[in-house]
């Protein structure tokens, strides 16, 4: 057992928590808020992260201004790129270079996450826009797991406005987004409109769990949400 694992409680869990969205991709606002308040408040919406220790690195909220942010002037009002699912995500400042897999909502209308067997994978919400299309493209990932320690988005809260996020798409094109804001929200205050709402330009949303870890409930008390705006792209 690694030093990380020995410092963290190992527990079993039948399934990861998920975002509450309808099968058509729209947010189940009333039902979701009630369930979050009663059932999953204090339980991670991204991953079953059973740390009993310090959890992810210290979080410092950062906001570069409006949600449009740096580079929006060149992206806003444009036609966006053709549809092409993401294949890989790279964030140099936090040393992320990870495969991206499509995730969908289950029969209960909850957004699935990558399997805990693959904690270094990123999930793309397939009912939303692909990265580079007009709208909010949503990517989710685990922050850590009991079995393997830090996961793909362990350092997500360390991003700052101006940092670059690169997505390689299945058609071979590459899209680059500039981070606008890095914020943390309590589970009961998850910003559904910010993450899933409409946008008139190409945006990216990166989401994981964060905040303090609740041992009794077996999950984190908050979510880290990064917003970013398309700044450039190149063909294969």
Q: What is the pLDDT of residue 47?
A: 39
Interatomic CA distance for residues 5 and 51, integer angstroms: 9
Beta-bridge mates of residue 98: 89
Interatomic CA distance for residues 130 and 15, integer angstroms: 26
Q: Which of 129, 124, 152 is nearest to 209 (CA)?
A: 152
Q: What is the pLDDT of residue 165?
A: 98
Structure tokens at 17: 């928590």
Tens of pLDDT along the chain (236 residues)? 333 333 332 232 333 344 555 555 555 544 444 333 322 222 333 334 344 444 566 565 667 754 433 333 344 445 689 999 999 999 999 999 999 999 988 777 777 788 888 999 999 999 899 999 999 999 999 998 888 889 999 999 999 999 999 999 999 999 999 999 999 999 889 888 899 888 999 999 999 998 888 888 778 889 999 999 999 999 87
221 close to 15: Cβ distance less than 8 angstroms: no
46 close to 190: Cβ distance less than 8 angstroms: no
Q: What is the pLDDT of residue 155?
A: 95
pTM over 0.85? The answer is: no
Domains and CATH numbers, the chain: 3-234 (2.40.260.10)
134 close to 230: Cβ distance less than 8 angstroms: no
Interatomic CA distance for residues 151 and 149, integer angstroms: 6
Q: What is the pLDDT of residue 174?
A: 97
What 8-state DSSP symbol labels residue 165? E
């Amino acid at each position: 057992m690694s030093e990380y694992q020995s410092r963290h409680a190992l527990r079993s869990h039948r399934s990861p928590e998920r975002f509450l969205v309808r099968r058509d991709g729209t947010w189940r606002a009333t039902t979701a808020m009630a369930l979050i308040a009663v059932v999953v408040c204090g339980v991670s919406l991204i991953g079953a992260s059973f740390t009993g220790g310090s959890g992810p690195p210290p979080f410092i909220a950062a906001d570069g201004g409006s949600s449009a942010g740096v580079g929006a002037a060149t992206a806003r009002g444009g036609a966006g790129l053709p549809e092409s699912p993401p294949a890989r995500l790279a964030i140099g400042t936090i040393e992320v270079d990870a495969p991206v897999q499509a995730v969908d909502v289950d029969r209960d209308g909850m957004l699935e996450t990558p399997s805990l067997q693959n904690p270094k994978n990123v999930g793309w919400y397939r009912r939303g826009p692909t990265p580079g299309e007009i709208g909010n493209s949503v990517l989710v990932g685990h922050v850590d797991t009991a079995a393997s320690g830090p996961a793909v988005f362990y350092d997500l809260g360390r991003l700052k406005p101006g940092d670059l996020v690169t997505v390689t798409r299945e058609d071979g094109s590459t899209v680059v987004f500039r981070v606008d804001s890095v914020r943390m929200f309590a589970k009961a205050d998850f910003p559904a409109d910010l993450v899933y709402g409409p946008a008139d330009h190409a945006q990216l949303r990166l989401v994981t769990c964060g905040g303090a870890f609740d041992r009794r409930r077996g999950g984190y008390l908050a979510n880290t949400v990064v917003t970013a705006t398309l700044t450039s792209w190149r063909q294969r």
